[in-house]
Amino acid sequence: MTGTRVILSYKDYEALPADGSRYELHEGELLVTPAPSPTHQRVIRNLAVLLHHYIRSRGAGEVLFSPIDCILSDVTVVQPDIVYLAADRLPAISSRGIEGPPTLVVEVLSPSTVQIDRGAKLQLYGRHGVSYYWVVDPEARSIDAYRLGAGGYQLAGRLQGTDRAALPPFEDLALAPTSVWP
């Protein structure tokens, strides 16, 4: 018997049971992750609230948070922790979720997702044209901000320690570390 790989599509994804699991399709391969921890959820909430107020005050687009389907292709559907769509990307929001790459994807690390978020998703988001990718590490209390360029993602900023820092694409939003970590 040969090891034929089954490629799942959005139609297959749609048919998955609503059983409380977090499902994603990575280029046709099904990934299932456990529900996030309370710390993980608090970091998402804190960061989403900060970004929401900043973006709303400027009319600069919209911030959404998981669970929301981000349909990057017929065989790639992800549920990032936080997504930001700049005003010019707002038409990407549909009844199914977000169709195509958002401006920014934020993933908050959990013990079960470190390798995926720092490796596979970094590559996946780059291939699908997500301009900015933040990796938030609650244990290290750091945020690494990547900008997509011709050769893939490059580290473009880091929030760490106690100093405020602005991360791309929000060059005039100085994030205070104490407002992010629970």
DSSP H helices, 22-127, are 38-58, 114-115, 121-127
**Distance separating alpha carbons of residues 148 and 129, to the nearest angstrom:** 8
Residues ≥6 apart with Cβ < 8 Å to 111: none
The answer for residues whose C-beta is within 8 angstroms of residue 112's C-beta and 6 or more apart is 33, 34
Sign of CA dihedral 153, 71, 60, 66: negative
Q: How far apart are alpha carbons 116 and 179 in whole angstroms? A: 26
Q: What is the pLDDT of residue 2?
A: 59
Give, for all 182 residues of the chain, the pLDDT tens digit.
556 778 999 999 999 888 878 898 999 999 888 888 899 999 999 999 999 999 999 999 999 998 899 999 999 999 999 999 999 999 999 999 999 999 999 999 988 888 888 888 999 999 999 999 999 999 999 999 999 999 999 999 999 988 899 999 999 999 988 899 97
Neighbours of 132 (CB within 10 A): 23
| CA-CA-CA-CA torsion sign (112, 65, 123, 2) | positive
Ramachandran sector of residue 34 (left: φ over 0; alpha: ψ -120 to 50; beta: rest): beta
Q: What are the strands, taking DSSP E only, across the chain? A: 22-26, 29-33, 61-65, 70-73, 76-78, 82-86, 98-99, 104-108, 132-137, 142-149, 152-160, 165-166, 174-175
Q: Assess whether the previous peptide bond of 169 is cis (omega < 30° from 0).
A: yes
**Cis before 67 (ω within 30):** yes
**Could you state, in order of their start, the residue ranges of all structural domains in the chain?**
34-180
Give the Cα separation of 155 and 167 in Å (integer). 10
At the topology level of CATH, where does 34-180 sit? Answer: tt1808, chain A (3.90.1570)
